[in-house]
Amino acid sequence: MSDKTNNDKLQKEHLYYSIILSILVVLSFGIFVDTYAQDVGRRPSSLEKSVEVLNSPPFIESISLSNHEQSYEIRNFIPTENMNGFLYVYGTADDANGCQDILNKSNWNLAIYRSSVEGGDACNSNPLSCYHGIAESQLTLNNCDGNGDTHLNYQWRIPLAHYIDATDTGKFANDDWKVEMKVVDDASGSYTSHSYFEVATLRAVSVVDDIEYGSLGAGSESIEKKLLITNTGNDPIDLNVRADGPMICEKGEIPAENIHVGFVEGFDYGKPEIAMKKEDQYLNVSIPKRIGNEVSQKTIYLKLLAPVNGVHGRCMNSITFTAVQDK
């Protein structure tokens, strides 16, 4: 092969390599530029941020009981004779997401029940053994001061019947009373707290009306007078009864023993259950505790024998009835 031919061949090869190299460089640059362009195209024009705030369930920090509005804490509730007494359940609660999350009264529930009652906190309401708070009318929520405040104060005011089951003695001495309170926040987080107390035994009685024997002749026996006795506590009762002394008249006096007591209508004055005295005398009347809408009562009957002589005018004394444990 001539030198010229070889030179031409070499020049063509160099040219070929140069062309290939140039193409590779251009392609490589094109890839680089394209990649850079794609990276630039993916960069956001503005930075967007979002944070998810997780819900924290509420927490009942304290629960206290009293029979007076936030005055002093009790563990033994004493019923109020013949009317409702009030149990105050109060304290503080917290929600880390803000106290507004538990500021709705509908988020709160309260059950108060004797510990062995059927159903526990889901028991059927009755004045003897089970109460459910009515948040709309019996609950107060306050001291939640807006954004950033996590605490609030609560207070329930629950009426308890005077004949509520006692747990300090008697039939339910092995029970106690349980307070179960639940709060649910707006995101359905919840917390339940408990407290316990005893209900004291209340033995009490009321007597309706004064006793008027009317006008009596010397040595005569009065007509029979009815006396209605009502059990106003939460335990079956008998009675102790006594006079404060003789009936004092405008002239003279009538001995207390002249007043006789019977249990049946039309009783024989000569065969009474007791003759009244100045000292306590026991009457086995067995008046049960109230258990429903009807009051628990019993009627006793009294008769008076006027002395044959020595007295004149209007005569008066006082008789005291005291409730005692039923035997």
Long-range contacts of 68-76 (CB under 8 A, 24+ apart): 69/155, 69/157, 70/155, 74/197, 75/196, 75/197, 75/198, 76/168, 76/197, 76/198, 76/199, 76/200
Give the mean pLDDT of the chain: 87
DSSP secondary structure of 42-105: HS-SS-----PPPP---EE---EEESSTTS---SEEPPPTTS-EEEEEEEEEE-TT-GGGG-SG
Average pLDDT value for residue range 195-202: 98
Which two three-digit tokens encode residue 101?
């999350």
Average pLDDT value for residue range 126-141: 98
* Res 76 pLDDT > 90: yes
pLDDT higher for 2 or 307?
307
pLDDT per residue as tens digits for the range 7-43: 444 444 444 433 333 333 333 333 333 433 344 344 4
Domains and CATH numbers, the chain: 59-199 (2.60.40), 205-325 (2.60.40)
pLDDT per residue as tens digits for the range 33-73: 343 334 434 444 454 555 565 889 999 999 999 988 767 88
pLDDT per residue as tens digits for the range 204-259: 999 987 899 999 999 999 999 999 999 999 999 999 999 999 999 999 999 999 99
State the pTM of this model. Answer: 0.79
Residue 255, sorted as left (phi over 0), alpha (psi -120 to 50) or beta, turns out to be beta
Interstrand relation of 76-77 and 190-199 (parallel, antiparallel or unpaired): parallel
DSSP secondary structure of 150-167: -EEEEEEEEEE-TTPPP-
Q: Look at residue 52 in the predicted model and tell me its pLDDT.
A: 61
